[in-house]
Amino acid sequence: MRNVLIVEDDPDASDILAALLRDRDFDPQQTESGEEGLRLARERRPDIVFLDLMLPDLDGYRICEALKMDRETNPLPVIMVTAMTAAEDQLRGFRVGADAYVCKPYTPSDIDEAIQAVEARKERLEEGRIQHSVRLDLSSEVASLSSVNEIFGLLLAYTPMSERDANQLRSAFQEMGTNAIEWGNRFDEAKRVAITIQIAADRVEVDIEDQGEGFDPTNIPHAASGDDEEDPVGHFAVREVLGLREGGFGILISKGMVDEVKYNEKGNRVTLIKRFKKS
């Protein structure tokens, strides 16, 4: 029987989810505390963590990020189950490493689909152990960003890359992946974003290609040019204040996170290169 951890401060909601999971041959453990949930996840390594976002101590975002930033717990699938339904909440969830996001009120089939998604992702990650190249195909919707977690886990598990460097590449991927979905494909779900990850002896290369018209990366206003290039990370706060993604913020941030950023001639494919010392 597979073990799952439910971190949920509403006892009724927790019991309902636990009953549903028992019917599916899971053995659930429940806690109402974020701190306790983080401890149990680290100690017991459940097959899946079901995580509420609004908790009395640590919020779910911080718990998920802590698990995904740790090489030992990064592979644990995290399914966020929450009443926070706004697109920006889902985007933030995937950016801190959630593998699936289920909005309350949910149906049993919603939980089934989330379980199937994280289990399929885990299988693909395990298959990637013997590959030097991995290809992903994302739809142009916010939820597709969860595929970044596969990449992050793969890098931590199967390269000598440090956690800091792997997280920087992950952050750059999130920025460029969001640009591809938002600006390249304009959220058109009929269009895809192709991701290719190639692992070499001394570097990782990530290609992100959308189906948009492309652009000229040498002619971007605002953040991606000028004196501000010296402080890419500082633009996280600036961008939030301005309420903007345009103007090259994502490109600028990515340049500060990886060793090299390259574009194809059309401007609809970007390559992120992060180097590491050979093992």
Summarised one tens digit per residue, pLDDT across range 106-129 is 999 999 999 998 887 777 666 654
Q: In this predicted structure, what is the pLDDT of residue 215?
A: 85
Which positions ≥6 away from 17 have C-beta within 8 Å?
6, 8, 28, 50, 81, 111
What is the strand order of the sheet 260-263 is part of? 133-139, 192-199, 203-209, 269-275, 260-263
C-alpha distances out from residue 23 to 29, 89, 121, Å = 14, 30, 23
Verify that 154 and 54 share a domain, yes or no: no
Q: In this predicted structure, what is the pLDDT of residue 66?
A: 92
Verify that 145 and 264 share a domain, yes or no: yes
Maximal CA-CA distance, the chain: 59
Verify that 138 and 107 share a domain, yes or no: no
Tell me how crowded residue 173 is: count the other CB atoms within 10 A of its CB: 25
Identify the sign of the CA torsion 219, 221, 223, 226.
positive
Low-confidence residues of the chain, pLDDT below 70? 124-135, 142-143, 145-151, 153-154, 220-249, 278-279
Q: In this predicted structure, what is the pLDDT of residue 127?
A: 61
Verify that 79 and 118 share a domain, yes or no: yes
Q: In this predicted structure, what is the pLDDT of residue 203?
A: 86
Domain end among 97, 124, 151: 124
Q: In this predicted structure, what is the pLDDT of residue 10?
A: 96
* Helical ranges in the chain per DSSP H: 11-22, 34-44, 60-69, 87-95, 108-127, 148-158, 163-179, 235-242, 249-257
CATH number for the domain including 8? 3.40.50.2300
Q: Contact, 225 vs 253, CB < 8 A?
A: no
Q: In this predicted structure, what is the pLDDT of residue 145?
A: 67
Residue 54 is part of which domain span? 2-124
Verify that 120 and 162 share a domain, yes or no: no
In the chain, the amino acid numbered 152 is F
* Chain Cα centroid distance, residue 89: 13
Verify that 94 and 36 share a domain, yes or no: yes
Model confidence over 146-188: pLDDT tens digits?
666 666 766 777 788 888 898 889 888 888 888 898 889 988 8
Verify that 195 and 250 share a domain, yes or no: yes
* Chain Cα centroid distance, residue 62: 14
Q: Contact, 207 vs 223, CB < 8 A?
A: no
Verify that 196 and 269 share a domain, yes or no: yes
In the chain, the number of structural domains is 2
- pTM check: above 0.85: no
Report how far residue 48's alpha carbon sits from residue 58's, in angstroms, rounded to the nearest whole number: 19
CATH number for the domain including 177? 3.30.565.10
Report how far residue 220's alpha carbon sits from residue 226's, in angstroms, rounded to the nearest whole number: 10
Verify that 254 and 184 share a domain, yes or no: yes
Report how far residue 81's alpha carbon sits from residue 186's, in angstroms, rounded to the nearest whole number: 27
SS3 of 216-254: the string is CCCCCCHHHCCHHHHCCCCHHHHHHHHCCCCCCHHHHHH
Verify that 136 and 271 share a domain, yes or no: yes
Q: In this predicted structure, what is the pLDDT of residue 278?
A: 67
Phi/psi at 4 (5° precision):
-130, 155
Domain end among 124, 144, 171: 124
Domain end among 124, 147, 169: 124
Verify that 83 and 26 share a domain, yes or no: yes
Nearest to 148 by CA among 95, 185, 194: 95
Verify that 214 and 100 share a domain, yes or no: no
Q: In this predicted structure, what is the pLDDT of residue 147?
A: 63
